[in-house]
């Protein structure tokens, strides 16, 4: 098993660290365009092997896609991160060019790889990968919903004083501050609906905090978060390489599911060795479906910006 992580910034390096510690592959390749960065971080991570107890080989390369040949899974974190006050929409132009070029180079050497998209704006970048590569839709997965759901659990934990491990909480829709939909109706603590434990006002606040979870961290840190995104990537990679058949909310290409067509958005999917294998229908309420449709409109508007830039 060979896994490539494109982008050796904080998110990419943290993902590589998590993947290596869990020994999900024989080799992890860390690739970046900045001379020496991937090599340096790979060497630093390799020096933790005896301390952390893993045998995964970590290779760092500068823009040498030949070293990524025959990768089973490829994670694309490359692109500029958000700065304070910057929206994911503002990233479209720059990151679209980066992601398209990365895909072209990767698939030249690993035509059978499953691609995990992390670069923002993630829904639009996942859609770009689908359109630019022509790969089967099951081999293209946007990671955002897993991260958003972990933030949802974090804020629920703060209110309930419980263990996150006992919570079931899912976020669907777009991976954006105004487009994600925390499904508070379905959230539960060991099979007890969270709505039985928190007031409607508290639940509404938890959902609001979840939606701006990324922006909150960007404001505090001065850049995008990396620990939770890196861990979320590793969880998704693990489900693929170990064929776990786990259900995760992921950004995938829809063809009529959840009332949407020709768009990539976050919905619950079964993840295994073939990528995402099927979409689970959560039977959204009327209010939730309306929110999902509104989220789709916002995602389409970003996709339209992408189309304009491509045509220009």
Q: Which residues are catalytic?
A: 175
The pairing of strands 180-182 and 171-173 is: antiparallel
C-alpha distance across the termini of the chain, in Å: 40
Q: What is the largest CA-CA distance in the chain?
A: 55
C-alpha closest to that of 152 among 234, 209, 88: 209
Walk across the sheet containing 167-168 and list its strands.
167-168, 188-189, 192-193
Q: Could you give phi then psi for residue 73, rounded to 5 degrees?
A: -135, 140
3 vs 70: CA distance, rounded Å: 9
4 vs 272: CA distance, rounded Å: 18
Neighbours of 161 (CB within 10 A): 6
DSSP annotation of 162: -
Q: Say if CB 275 and CB 240 are below 8 A apart.
A: yes
């Amino acid at each position: 098993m060979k896994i490539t992580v494109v982008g050796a910034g904080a998110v990419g390096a943290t993902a590589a660290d998590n993947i290596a510690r869990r020994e999900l592959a024989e080799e992890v390749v860390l690739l970046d365009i900045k001379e020496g960065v991937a090599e340096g971080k790979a060497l630093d991570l390799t020096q933790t092997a005896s301390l952390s107890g893993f045998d995964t080989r970590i290779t760092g390369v500068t823009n040498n896609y030949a070293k990524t040949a025959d990768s089973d899974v490829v994670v694309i974190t490359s692109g500029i991160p958000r700065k304070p006050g910057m929206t994911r929409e503002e990233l479209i132009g720059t990151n679209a060019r980066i992601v398209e070029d990365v895909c072209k180079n990767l698939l030249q050497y690993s035509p059978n790889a499953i691609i995990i998209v992390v670069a923002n704006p993630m829904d639009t970048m996942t859609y770009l990968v689908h359109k630019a590569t022509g790969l089967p839709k099951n081999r293209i997965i946007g990671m955002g919903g897993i991260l958003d759901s972990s933030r949802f659990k974090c804020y629920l934990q703060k209110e309930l004083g419980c263990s996150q491990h006992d919570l079931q909480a899912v976020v669907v829709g777009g991976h954006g501050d105004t487009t994600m939909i925390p499904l508070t109706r379905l959230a539960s603590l060991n099979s007890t609906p969270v709505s039985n434990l928190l007031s409607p006002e508290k639940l509404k606040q938890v959902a609001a905090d979840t939606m701006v979870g990324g922006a909150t961290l960007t404001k505090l840190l001065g850049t995008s978060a990396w620990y939770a995104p890196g861990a979320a990537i590793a969880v998704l990679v693990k489900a693929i390489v170990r064929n776990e058949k786990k259900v995760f909310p992921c950004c995938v290409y829809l063809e009529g599911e959840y009332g949407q067509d020709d768009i990539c958005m976050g919905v619950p999917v079964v993840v295994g060795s073939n990528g995402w294998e099927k979409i689970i229908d959560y039977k959204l309420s009327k209010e939730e479906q309306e929110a999902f449709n509104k989220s789709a409109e916002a995602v389409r508007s970003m996709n339209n910006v992408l189309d304009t830039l491509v045509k220009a």
